[in-house]
Structure 1
């Protein structure tokens, strides 16, 4: 087996074990009574993807953070395991120079999960949730969508040092883009987020993260456009 750079991450083994436990809970028995596939190869493939060298923000640390925030918001989810699967897949395909990463990540889930023993209904829901991270604008009754989107955006509510590190990692990920073009594109993203009626949809997210996140976004936008 070839060495994956992701395997050097200090949380690699813990994340792999977490994935294996999650997938086992979500697997369905085969029609012929055959045992469910071993979760570990699927987990190693996903971790390898999250550890790719072109990633500076969308890394294993981001995966861990989204999983942690989703766990923090478990009480608001209709199906926490489906949300967790979507978190694993939501940026599993990521190229900074491509615009269809969420769609390609959803396609990966649609291919891999049935092969791994996950039923069609849950697979379709995971793919739907992954696609929702394009807009971060779930419907009012979409509780699992609210949890995933809040978990994904929770980084926006970091303290000043954490937010600065996040913004720097995003800039590093787009290091191939000239400064002027990056500032224009990043400003458009920030305005799109600020134009949302609410960044966070769960009661916890609204109370704990909304105000800080808007302040951080506004400050970054002001710096970019000064």
Structure 2
């Protein structure tokens, strides 16, 4: 039973990549990756994509160097390998598992159950845990409402993964930012009151737990601040993490960004084409007009340059109705079947 790593041979995004795997279970792999650290976004169903710059550190921490074929064979033998033909079907399953686990872990980070009395603590903790689990299920249900195209479960996952990326870069992500991430589009009807309604929902739902009133109010304030029209010349650093994570999609790879723009258009299918193009371009130009799209240095390092390139390319496409808007090349980094 071991953590295995193959040589950094796979080119993508201007560097070479290794594959980091466990031949026992995924929990062991996630725990090891967090020690390196590698952001959870680097996990691709059965392995982590590890940049060449972290190869020696992973080996020093105990990862066993093996050949690329050995990585694949050990995964297959352990039953952890996800075949290429199964990957599309497996992604939503893994996404739901990730979200469920993250919501459960958030209870402890936020302080749910800490105020239980010594005599009734166990019973209170069990009741709160059950209530917390049910609330998480309700929220995931909201993120999967059939009318959503972009503001769906995938967006929630993206925001949480982006907050994790910021944490790996040394940022301290507050429980308020994580809670607000879960609720920030929990109400989504495409109206100007979505953020306010989501904040009301969060405050009411979280008031049922033994959280401090100050934390609950902060979560509500953070959610309102995610409204696109919110004027926020300066913000609390904890809120800045949430705002940057919410816009991290701007800095996505080209294929993912193209899927995002397609999903946004689908959510506004009721808007005539000419109005949509004009309105969308105006919004994007507003972001580009700022000295920086992102508020934290870590986010700017991660996403700023690619975000500006994506927005400029989309604005050009919006100005030309005949410009192709379909997907580009597939994402790099996946482990070859025959590796």
Give me the TM-score of the superposition, normalised by structure 2: 0.60
1:132 matched residue in structure 2: 225
1:100 matched residue in structure 2: 193
Q: How many Å apart are 1:76 and its aligned residue?
A: 2.2
Q: How many Å apart are 1:107 and its aligned residue?
A: 0.8
Distance 1:82 1:33 in 2: 27
Q: Equivalent residues in 2 for 1:1-226 (5 A)?
A: 9-10=92-93, 11-26=95-110, 27=112, 28-29=114-115, 35-36=124-125, 37=128, 38=130, 39-74=132-167, 75-77=170-172, 79-96=173-190, 98-135=191-228, 138=232, 140=234, 142-226=236-320
Q: How many Å apart are 1:14 and its aligned residue?
A: 3.0
Runs of 5+ unmatched residues, structure 2: 1-90, 321-339
User: How many residues were matched structurally?
Assistant: 217
Larger Rg: 2
* Greater fraction of residues in strand: 2
**Higher RCO structure (Cα 8 Å, ≥6 apart):** 1
Q: How many Å apart are 1:134 and its aligned residue?
A: 1.4
Q: How many Å apart are 1:13 and its aligned residue?
A: 3.2
Distance 1:33 1:184 in 2: 60
| Alpha-carbon displacement from aligned partner over 1:95-117 (angstroms, at most 9, x marks no partner) | 12x12111111111111111133
Contact 1:109–1:126, Cα closer than 8 Å, also in 2: yes
Q: How many Å apart are 1:159 and its aligned residue?
A: 1.9
Contact 1:76–1:144, Cα closer than 8 Å, also in 2: no
- Secondary structure of the 1:99 match is coil
Q: How many Å apart are 1:195 and its aligned residue?
A: 2.2
| Alpha-carbon displacement from aligned partner over 1:106-164 (angstroms, at most 9, x marks no partner) | 11111111113322111111111111111476554621111111111111011222211
Q: How many Å apart are 1:92 and its aligned residue?
A: 0.8
Contact 1:42–1:116, Cα closer than 8 Å, also in 2: no
Runs of 5+ unmatched residues, structure 1: 1-7
1:3 matched residue in structure 2: none
Contact 1:138–1:146, Cα closer than 8 Å, also in 2: no
Distance 2:209 2:142 in 1: 17
